[in-house]
């Protein structure tokens, strides 16, 4: 099984918007002129070249991938020392092979410590919501409240739907919104989190609803970094616009008989 240590840099590379090897290279951008208003703004970031900015981007991505460890400032200095020694091909200060297996153990311990209070806060939030007028449980987990009755058909779990939605954390922080993109989202109900699959199936076309989704029917203990912590309870306002009827694939033409 691939360990976190061996997958870390792979995750960094995969997360980077790399160009395909056989794709044509873009034409070089013209040099910024002195009167180019973008040039002074770019210089304010403290970097002297795009190579330096790319290196910073690499470091930032590595930091995002180790974020779930919740390192302290002192621990980050230790991590920095390890990165530097390895990058400069210096001898390791310890037997890395001996301690590498403990990396995943450390991650599990840190994540469990962070997830427990998040789950507790989410449970309290959901229980309070559950006592509001008109709230009912969603099959298999979560809570549902009708904001506007719909007059159309109700989707089945196997259907594809078109919706507008807004997703927030318990404190109201928005992490996703089709309204912000000015474009509805279309997806199969079986391809989303269980709270959505079962919650949207309670709606009718033209209706609006509020879903409160505990982590066990959302993104679990892993969350979706950086916005959604492990164990987070999520809140969605959903507007069901349409049940999308997908065209069946056309049968291939049979060869004419001779």
175: exposed, middle or buried (C-beta count within 10 Å: 0-12, 13-18, 19+)? middle
Cα separation, 258 vs 255, whole angstroms? 9
Candidates 125, 129, 175, 187; catalytic one: 175
Q: Which of 69, 138, 144, 165 is catalytic?
A: 165
Catalytic residue, chosen from 69, 144, 219, 235, is: 219
Least confident of 117-121, 219-223, 233-237, 247-251: 247-251
Residues 123-174 pLDDT 10s: 999 999 999 999 999 999 999 999 999 999 999 989 999 999 999 999 999 9
Q: Judge whether 176 counts as a catalytic residue.
A: yes
At 128-142, the pLDDT tens digits run 999 999 999 999 999
Active-site annotation holder among 193, 221, 228, 235:
193
Query: Active-site residue 129, yes or no?
Result: no
The residue among 82, 58, 68 whose CA lies nearest residue 9 is 58
- Name the catalytic one among 69, 138, 144, 236: 236
List b or e across 96-134, with b for residues whose CB sees 16 or more CB atoms inside 10 angstroms: eeeeeeebeeeeeeebeebbeebbeebeebbeeeeeeee
Asked if 161 and 186 touch (Cβ cutoff 8 Å), the reply is: yes
What pLDDT, in 10s, does the model give residues 187-217?
999 999 999 999 999 999 999 999 999 999 9
193 is known as an active-site residue:
yes
Q: Which residues of 14-26 are buried (b: 16+ CB within 10 A; e: fewer)?
A: eeeeeeeeeeeee
Active site annotation includes 171: no
| Structural domains of the chain sorted by starting position, each given as residue range(s) with its CATH number in brackets | 4-16+30-109 (no CATH), 119-244 (3.10.50.40)
Global pTM value: 0.66
Q: DSSP secondary structure string, 67-79?
A: GGG---HHHHHHH
Q: What is the pLDDT of residues 28-48, one digit of tens each?
A: 333 444 444 444 555 688 899
């Amino acid at each position: 099984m691939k360990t976190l240590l061996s997958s870390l840099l792979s995750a960094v590379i995969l997360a980077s918007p790399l160009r395909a090897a056989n794709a044509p290279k873009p034409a070089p951008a013209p040099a910024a002129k002195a009167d180019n208003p973008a040039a002074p703004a770019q210089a304010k970031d403290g970097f002297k070249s795009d190579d330096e900015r790319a290196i910073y981007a690499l470091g930032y991505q590595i930091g995002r991938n180790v974020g779930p460890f919740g390192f302290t400032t002192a621990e980050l200095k230790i991590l920095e020392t390890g990165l530097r020694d390895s990058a400069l091909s210096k001898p390791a200060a310890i037997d890395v092979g001996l301690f590498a297996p403990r990396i995943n153990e450390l991650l599990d311990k840190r994540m469990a410590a962070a997830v427990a209070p998040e789950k507790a806060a989410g449970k309290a939030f959901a229980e309070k919501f559950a006592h509001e007028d008109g709230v009912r449980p969603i099959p298999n987990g979560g809570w549902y409240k009708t904001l506007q009755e719909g007059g159309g058909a109700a989707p089945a779990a196997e259907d594809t739907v078109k919706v507008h939605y807004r997703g927030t954390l318990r404190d109201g922080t928005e992490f996703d919104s089709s309204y912000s993109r000015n474009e509805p989202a279309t997806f199969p109900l079986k391809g989303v989190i269980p709270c959505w699959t079962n919650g949207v199936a309670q709606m009718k076309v033209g209706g609006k609803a509020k879903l409160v989704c505990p982590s066990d029917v959302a993104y679990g203990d892993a969350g979706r970094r950086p916005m959604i912590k492990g164990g987070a309870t999520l809140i969605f306002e959903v507007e069901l616009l349409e049940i999308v009827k997908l065209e069946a694939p056309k049968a291939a033409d049979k060869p004419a008989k001779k």
